[in-house]
Structure 1
Amino acid sequence: MTEIAKGVLGGGWSLVAGWILPAAVNIALFGLFLLPDMRAFEPVDRLAQAALSQQSLVLLTAAVVLGLLFSALQTPLYRVLEGYLGWPSWAFAWGRKRQQRRLKLLRDRLDGLRLAQKESGGQLTSSEEGRLRELRADRRLAQKFAQDLFLIAPQRALLRERLRRFPLRDEQVLPTRLGNALRRMEQYGSDRYRLDSQVFWHELIAAAPEQTRQGVTTARIGVDFFVCLLYGHLILAATAVTVQATKSGFSISLSALAVVLTAFAVIWYRLAVSSTEEWAMAIRALVNLGRKPLAEAMGLELPATLHDEREMWSLLSKLSRLGYHENAAALDRFRAGEGETHSRERPAE
């Protein structure tokens, strides 16, 4: 029994809570609101006439199967929401420009708040005075700027949190909020240490401390939960529209159900974006705490300086992605136990 509990609390719990449970919620909604209107379909009619225990067993099995299916398809499901998959080029470009405008607006609002605080303390430089006048003259910022001055510290922290959901570099911006929230965590190791966590993901997971690995798995559950709810609601809304189309008369309940489910899908999307905060912090801990054991596991010694460490991870990333090249021999000076045969000093250019 103890081993079963360990298995559920380990990898199995993320599957149950992240995918099977929200699938069960969607199946329950199907049984409550759609099943009675689908009696015209023979298999559904037989299910509706079956005993309650049989109905419960069928719906439970459907929830497990649907949850497992969504889990197996999670990569393409996420990529659609991130903006990678299924987006026409014009939609991708439009969404990306929209997100870049949102990013600039957040940066300008926070910059304006910072400069307004310095102005109240009489600490503005001449260049900062010009920047503040420019921000106040921006019509796009005028209303926001006036409101932001009355924000208290926790509200300003939430504004900074929204900014942190974007990648640091503008060229990494994607056309969706979820895509940007996930992209910033994917780029954390590369932006700070030149450690590509996407390339070395499995190595990082294998080398990092157990508690850190478990933290990443647990932190992702919330995002998976809302993503699964979102897709399930969209499928139910599409089913409601299809059933409505097959009926001879107009059904207010089916139309209202499709609208309500679509509205809730938007809410689940926003909650999925908000839930990435915990996941991002777990990824940050994985990179920060897993770098040293990863270097040791790869037969390398973590350099004393950040500059050298960035060079080491860059060389290792190139070796993994591009294959061996004679320039990869520069990695030798970072190998553990090679200090007597290889100089740790940067070679003269």
Structure 2
Amino acid sequence: MGDIAKGVLGGAWTLLVGWILPTALNLTVFILAVAPSLRDLGPFDRLPDSSGLPTGAALVTGALLLGLVANACQNALYRLLEGYLLWPARAFEASCRRSLNRKQALEGRLSLLRLERRERENGPLAPADAQQLARLLADPHLARAAARDQRRTAVQRALLQEQFARFPIADDQVAPTRLGNAIRRFEEYGWDRYRLDTQLMWNELTGCAPDQIRRQTELARASVDFFVALLAGHVLVAATAVLALFGNHPDRWRLGTVLVVLAALVPVWYRSAVTATDEWAAAVRALVNTGRKPLAASLGLALPDTLAAERDMWSMVSRLSRIPYHERASALDQYRTDPTVIPP
């Protein structure tokens, strides 16, 4: 009973922090700054006054209901911010090219820093490394960036590696937006390392992983949810503020201030969401690394002795879950455990 209560409270906490709290903040801004100018517009003429109990009750009720709605719509909201939903084909392709160029530029700058440091510390480079360094310095953009990077501190250079780590490893997995790339990097982690398709096997993996690791993943995602919900709410409040400007008695100074502040905060919350994915990525990495063995056991499989064999096994498991059964799936029999043996 205690475990059930703990699970319910844990799920409620992530919902509260990730969606209801930012919805309450946005609703407060709407009621105090925008709603008074909307009361002369048809559907909004019954909005409560900005003082007293009705507003408090409306705030709590509205935040709860709208937070639940936002939570239910989170997949569509994430896909929109990641660049997968409602993006025209040309805009999608152009944004993917820009993201790939940004990734390759960061990779080139990091390679330059690494080769130059190796040359300073160890003397002349090997012929292959020397050719790579000359090729990189031949790019005028990289050469200018390298000159600036040399003046950076060690901490500032480490931030370049942090930015590069927010891209997926495979170039064909690059997404059109920063948030899309930051999320895609840990979506492909299991496949890149172990050939385990975590997107396909997510429910099985989280169902078998240690409770602490699974809880860390939920809490890390709640931080990203908070900024995503705050950003989306700001956009909606700004849209209602624009609508209020066409009312009969708009408070233009107050509405203008709201629009400016919200417009300035939207990119801040977006960057905060991208940064918050670092903890989410670390939690998913731990989930994959520690959850593989219990997942294999729950599927009646035993992890092979070598990493290459394990990659083959997870590749077949992922394929078996993704496509209809084929006779070739019998190759998975070599990894099955004896069902008559009771696991320790």
TM-score, normalized by length of structure 1? 0.92
- In the TM superposition, residue 132 of structure 1 has moved relative to its aligned partner by 2.0
Q: Which residue of 2 aligns with 1:283?
A: 284
Map of 1:235-250 to 2, 5 A cutoff? 235-247=236-248
1:79 has 2:51 as partner = no
Q: Is 1:10 the equivalent of 2:10?
A: yes
Q: Which residue of 2 aligns with 1:324?
A: 325
Note the C-alpha offset of 1:272.
Answer: 0.2
Secondary structure at 1:245's aligned position in 2?
Answer: coil
SS of alignment partner, residue 92 of structure 1 = helix
Q: Report what 1:230 is aligned to.
A: 231
**5 Å matches for 1:1-349?**
6-7=6-7, 9-41=9-41, 44-49=44-49, 52-121=52-121, 122-247=123-248, 251-337=252-338
Q: Distance in 2 between matches of 1:305 and 1:103?
A: 32
Distance in 2, Cα, partners of 1:54 & 1:248? 23
Partner of 1:343 in structure 2?
none
Residue type at the aligned position of 2:165: R
Q: Which string of whole-angstrom CA distances, capped at 9 and with x for unpartnered residues, describes residues 96-147 of structure 1?
A: 0010110011001100100111221214122322322332232222332111
Q: Conserved in 2, the CA contact under 8 Å of 1:23 and 1:228? A: yes
Identity %: 50
Return closer, same or farther for 1:7/1:207 CA change in 2, 3 Å cut-off.
closer
Amino acid in the other structure paired with 1:86 = L
Inter-partner Cα distance in structure 2 for 1:275 and 1:60: 27
Cα deviation for residue 33 of structure 1 reads 1.0
* CA deviation after TM superposition for structure 1 residue 248, in Å: 7.3
Shift of residue 43 of structure 1? 6.1
Q: Does the 8 A contact of 1:332 with 1:338 survive in 2?
A: no
Q: 1:262 offset after TM fit, Å?
A: 2.0
Note the C-alpha offset of 1:266: 1.1
User: How far apart, in 1, do the equivalents of 2:15 and 2:135 lie?
Assistant: 51
CA root-mean-square deviation: 2.2
Question: Could you tell me how far 1:59 is from its partner in structure 2?
Answer: 1.5
1:214 Cα offset (Å): 0.6
Q: Relative to structure 1, is the Cα distance of residues 250 and 32 closer, same or farther in structure 2, using a 3 angstrom cutoff?
A: closer
The letter of the residue matching 2:295 is L
2:51 and 2:323 map into 1 onto residues whose CA distance is 61
| 1:333/1:339 contact within 8 Å kept | no
Give ranges in structure 2 of 5+ residues lacking alignment. none
> Distance between the aligned counterparts of 2:79 and 2:169, measured in 1?
20
Unpaired stretches in structure 1, ≥5 consecutive residues: 341-349
Q: 5-14 or 207-216: which moved more?
A: 5-14
| 2-structure distance, mates of 1:199, 1:46 | 47
Could you tell me whether the CA contact under 8 Å between 2:40 and 2:249 is conserved in 1? no
CA distance 1:112–1:50, change in 2 (3 Å): closer
Number of paired residues? 340
Offset of residue 25 of structure 1: 0.4
Amino acid at match of 2:55: Q
CA contact (8 A) 1:39 1:48 kept: no
**AA matched with 2:338:** G
Task: Find the aligned partners of 2:250 and 2:222 in 1 and give their Cα distance.
Answer: 42
Displacement of 1:323 in angstroms is 1.9
**Counterpart Cα distance in 2 of 1:270 and 1:327:** 46
CA distance in 2, matches of 1:170, 1:22: 34
C-alpha spacing 1:322/1:46, structure 2 compared with 1 (3 Å): closer
Compared with structure 1, are the counterparts of its residues 49 and 149 closer, same or farther at alpha carbon in structure 2 (3 Å cutoff)?
closer
TM-score normalised to structure 2 length: 0.93
Further displaced range: 172-181 or 143-152: 143-152
